[in-house]
Structure 1
Amino acid sequence: MAARMSEQNRTVPDWFRSGPQLYRSLLDLAAWHPEATEIATSPTVPSDFAAETMLDFLSDELMRTGFTDDWAVTAHGQEIEDLIDVFNTIAQPG
């Protein structure tokens, strides 16, 4: 079954509301993690459990690669923080 994609960009699932560039970053990050890839490419909105799983993955990645030696957020780290915001909204709507 093919993923239902948004009308604006056929490479981004409908549930992902932050645009194709950030979605591409998500796919790049998730590429080495099969569970994260499965969640990121889901044709439907991730469940609360899946969103929490993705938040754990993204938080680990932020700590691993998102800061300089003096703990300043890098551009890559800001992208990860933006992705964390996407999945926080899914995990805790409203």
Structure 2
Amino acid sequence: MVKISSVETFCDEHVRFTRVTAEDGATGWGQCSTFNAGKYFEFSIEGDGYCPWPRRVFRGDPFAVRNGKVRIPDGPGWGGAIRHGSTGRNTKRAPK
């Protein structure tokens, strides 16, 4: 059984992120928004072990937490520079 060592939340008036960290260091993220989130990129809540490809999609780390805050973009797009061709390397498939 995996034991959770910490649960952190990061919020502004529109978006809430939750990071869950297990004792073994594995992390997972969750996101909630009060606006139409359908137009925006949603990071997988399953974490890197289940769905590692989102970490390869962007150049840099648009999900980085600095001084307890995440950068929420106010313009169109996903908020990060795309590493072109990155999703073609994804070999993990969702279970049926």
What TM-score results when the alignment is normalised by the length of structure 2?
0.33
Whichever structure has more helix as a proportion of its residues is: 1
Higher relative contact order (CA 8 A, sep 6+): 1
Whichever structure has more strand as a proportion of its residues is: 2
Greater Rg, structure 1 or structure 2? 2
What TM-score results when the alignment is normalised by the length of structure 1?
0.33
